[in-house]
Amino acid sequence: MNRRQFVRTAAGAAALLATQRRAYGYAVSPSVPKFNDPLPMFGADIPILSPNTTRYPGADYYEIVAGAFRQQLSSGLPATGSRLYGYADANAPNFRALGGAIIARKGTPVRIKYSSQLPAQHIIPFDPTIPMGPGIVGAEQNRIAIHLHGGLVPWASDGGPFHWVSPTGAVVGSSNVNWLHNDANALTNDLFYPNDQSSRFMWYHDHAIGTTRTSAYAGLATGYLITDAADDIVDAAYPLAGGKTFILVFQDKVFYNPARDPGFGNVAGPTTLNGAAAGDLWYPYIYEKAIWKMQGNAKAAPIPSAIPEMFGDTMLVNSRVFPTVSVDKGAYRIRTLNACNARFLNLKFVYADASGKEPLGGYLAPTVAPVNAWMIGTEGGLLPNPVQIFNQGRPLNPANLIPWLQAPAERSDMIVDFSQCASNSKVLLYNDAPAPYPVGAPVFDFYPGAAGNPGAAGIQPGTGPNTRTIMQFAVGAAAGLPAALPGLAGANPVLPTVPDPLNGGLKLAANVINGIAVNPVAKEITLNESFDAFGRLEQLVGTNISIGKGQFGRRYMDPATETVQYGSIEIWNVYNLTADVHPMHFHLFNCMVLRRRLFRSFNGTPAWAGLGRGPDPGEDGWKETIKMWPGECTTIAVFVEHPMPAGKYTRDAGGRPQVVVPQAPIGGVSQPPQTSTLPASPRPGINGDEYVYHCHILEHEEHDMMRPLVAR
């Protein structure tokens, strides 16, 4: 599309890296051996928090603190470890990468008291020039806001951009409200998660405005798993691997290499990094004009500066660089999360060569490993039926050759069968998604001999940096569990659909579904690119109403344009006017993909380029992070559930939901429970419950591809 203002030519970017300047758009990590370290497992190596079940009877209670620590992420990196952020039990902090995971049960609420012990100075270069909004004292870099990604939660517990707290606990974001009583009858801003959703793999991460992209990259992210009876059936067929939850969390990082960027430890500008050491996390801090387009009359970008997207050169799984795990010749249930800031992952299974470290057949034509795989769930929970995506390692559906393409924040629930693999073979999890997606630039693709990427020069076989060979499965000779697929029908009901011959794809089967009327007026949303006051690229969300000069994009702090009604069903049309795939994430509600339809042009209304197509295999269930492809209108059906339904939670005289909180005895005397009433958002212009929706490329989200979502 002619609207693209993004990555410039690969030749220009290659020339930049070849100049060996003080700082690179993307520095190159030191060499690290691949597959020398075991895969960390949740529950063994990665702490899962234990709840206090007596503090508030009927609820699981946690006290979580965010802090800084050091941890060695590869035996090939310095033994002093990398500087990281993470979550831990506030009463006995044991900070580990991805630590603080939670396993919840459907119907049992979770309550969280959270706090920050982060240093005043961020370990990642901090740019205060991107949108911060009101309530920020100076350039506070140690704010946190815990967002349960995918949670159906009351707005005050959503952990949105203005729900932040500082280490003092006294300074709170402009949307943070004290409403939930504690057992001393004081009001708190504790988080309350009803957990009335079906089983699913979610995660929680930092969402404070201005620091989401840097704090999540630094480590403020981990898993949150809801289980229920349907989930128990699946786990009965596939016992947890080694007695532990088999979860794979993918991340890409850059590790500081002083030989490539000697000035990184003393970045000029509003912050310094207190002398970053070799092996610490590195993050781009200069807006490199040779890589990123700038407006012609641009002002000088600040240093440090926000960048359009972050692509690391070294892959981690479960916080370990290029790990390995032993598996039998059988089937496993594996849940995955793409926790990269911006990198898409097109995943597949290939054989390793005799070294066990490089793809057999090379990087351009690797040898497929005969792995069978079924998708049984996404971030919206279990699918209506299992969908086979790989047959003997090859895509089952010839119409979809990228069946395991995971955008940032997307999750998958898989049955993966290694029974057809050769005994004692090495199988690599392989990624060949371009970055940015879908076109890509060679300078962001790392492997030995990578064409067009001078930063990859000198990468030796068997070592990183590498963004293609993610991890190794060492397949043994012993037979494992057979691939017996679970029956999922009815476990996670979806809205009924029928073919739509007028537009292509699907449409809802009725105008009234389960007594809920479908709003006849669709919301029209656009995804846009523009430039900020410094001439830097920024991504925006807007409507189909022009704001002048053919521009549709609005900024986060602009007045809200999307309001939804609890207990309703809506249709949203999302037009992507950029050249990138944007993984759009919706707080509060889940969605169903109905149709994707190409358009030739858009001036407020589209000129269609033919009929649309329906959801891809594996998208026929609920989702809350949806890939929006360039030049297409993605039509979704939205079910706006109330997180605290009237049948379960009482209402005050004004109709606001309430939570009954047990009280601790005083002097041995029992105290009556307190009723906590959830207020509406105090932020001007909201006049309801305050959520957001945004692109989950984190650099896009914060600059400034996010909009308010008001629920009433």
| Cβ–Cβ under 8 Å, residues 39 and 471 | yes
Q: What is the CATH number of the domain that holds 695?
A: 2.60.40.420
Q: Which of 231, 253, 285 is the last residue of a domain?
A: 231
Residues in the chain: 712
In a domain, 581, yes or no: yes
In a domain, 569, yes or no: yes
And the tokens for 628?
């929006």
Gap between the terminal Cα atoms of the chain: 38
Buried b (16+ CB within 10 A) or exposed e, 693-712: bbbbbbbbbbbbbbbbbbbe
Domain count of the fold of the chain: 2
**pLDDT of the residue at 136:** 65
pLDDT along the chain (712 residues), means of 10: 33 34 61 97 94 94 97 97 97 97 97 95 90 68 95 97 87 89 93 97 96 97 95 77 73 93 63 71 89 84 92 97 96 96 98 98 97 96 95 91 97 96 98 95 94 90 97 96 85 96 97 95 97 94 94 95 97 97 97 98 96 94 97 98 95 96 86 94 94 98 97 96
In a domain, 251, yes or no: no
What is the C-alpha separation between 201 and 199, in angstroms, rounded? 7
And the tokens for 234?
């699946």
| Cβ–Cβ under 8 Å, residues 30 and 278 | yes
Give yes or no for a cis peptide into 119 (omega within 30° of 0).
Answer: no
| Cβ–Cβ under 8 Å, residues 209 and 698 | no
What is the C-alpha separation between 37 and 710, in angstroms, rounded? 46
**pLDDT of the residue at 266:** 64
**pLDDT of the residue at 668:** 85
In a domain, 697, yes or no: yes
**pLDDT of the residue at 272:** 43
**pLDDT of the residue at 17:** 34
**DSSP at 302:** P
**pLDDT of the residue at 46:** 96
In a domain, 459, yes or no: no
Nearest to 285 by CA among 437, 140, 97, 129: 129
| Cβ–Cβ under 8 Å, residues 693 and 640 | no
Nearest to 320 by CA among 251, 245, 219, 254: 251
In a domain, 28, yes or no: no
**pLDDT of the residue at 240:** 53
DSSP reduced 3-state for 666: strand
- For residue 134, give its domain range: 34-231
The one-letter amino acid at 1: M
Q: Which of 180, 212, 231 is the last residue of a domain?
A: 231
**pLDDT of the residue at 667:** 83
Q: Which strands make up the sheet holding 146-149, listed edge to edge?
A: 102-105, 221-227, 200-206, 146-149
- Whether the pTM exceeds 0.85: the reply is yes
In a domain, 420, yes or no: no
In a domain, 89, yes or no: yes
**pLDDT of the residue at 528:** 97
Give yes or no for a cis peptide into 673 (omega within 30° of 0).
Answer: no
| Cβ–Cβ under 8 Å, residues 544 and 604 | yes
**pLDDT of the residue at 559:** 95
Q: Which of 231, 249, 280 is the last residue of a domain?
A: 231
